[in-house]
Structure 1
Amino acid sequence: MMHDDQILDIRRIMEMLPHRYPFLLVDRVLEFEPGQRLKAMKNVTMNENFFQGHFPGLPVMPGVLQLEALAQAGGIMVMNSLKEPLGDKVFLFTGLNKVKFRRPVVPGDQLVLNVFFEKSKLNIYKMRGVAEVDGQVTAQGEFSAAVANKGDM
């Protein structure tokens, strides 16, 4: 668990998320208020494997990967807001609503990931996410996720 005055680096993030290269899309947690909000960031570089095909000569980060980065940040927020560790459970993305893409994300950008807790019921969590570069919104949406047993998958 983290405290609100802690910044999480990549090693701590990798202890919390099961994602690995090339799908770990959160580099650092900058701010955290348990059960309220989390602010993280992803440095976007030309070395990202998706730029090979999206698009040759015009590298643009896919919008769905911006949403995935927000979902991963949301997973970190929820896991660190729970009263007990996940243990043998996993946090799964279950839905998206009101998604908008506002601006392209390109190599050299620092994608700031803001996630806000909305509500939870049983094992379902609802969040709102806003991704930004230089204070301009790039993607936003509402997310739902569930805590599930790995053995049930």
Structure 2
Amino acid sequence: MKFVDLLVPQAVKVFSASSSKKRVMHDLADVVESAYDLPASGVVEALIERESLGCTGVGHGVALPHARLDGINEVKGAFLLLEKPVDFNAIDRQPVDVIFGLFAPEDAGVEHLKALALVSRTLRNPAFCDKLRANPDPAKLYTILTEAQSVQAA
């Protein structure tokens, strides 16, 4: 699995005014609705339900919200870069500005876990996250994300 399999350019956005974790969830849902034609209300509901099981703020300014959704047949992703970090109740108590949302079909098995592992492994690299933070342009971010896999594989 590669980032290019998870992400379309329309699902990469930079937000300057997300003021809370709840607002980020709504922003993420709006991006998913626009990029993949899924109803934002269902996406928000699924994200909040998943978040109630445990925070997806994984530390070092990174969050990986994820949920299972009706209406999709393959794992999809969305990436947000926040110009102003928000409190996400992350495990290290640091605010979050790098967010990669993953959305899987209700009956997804190992593909969902493979995607989550790929994103987690990639965004655990501080130098990679610094590169993302230094390029607040959606087109550049998409390129960085989708080229990361081919560089790592080489």
Computing the radius of gyration over CA atoms, which structure comes out larger, 1 or 2?
1
Q: Which has the higher strand share?
A: 1
TM-score by length of 2: 0.32
TM-score by length of 1: 0.33
Q: Which has the higher helix share?
A: 2
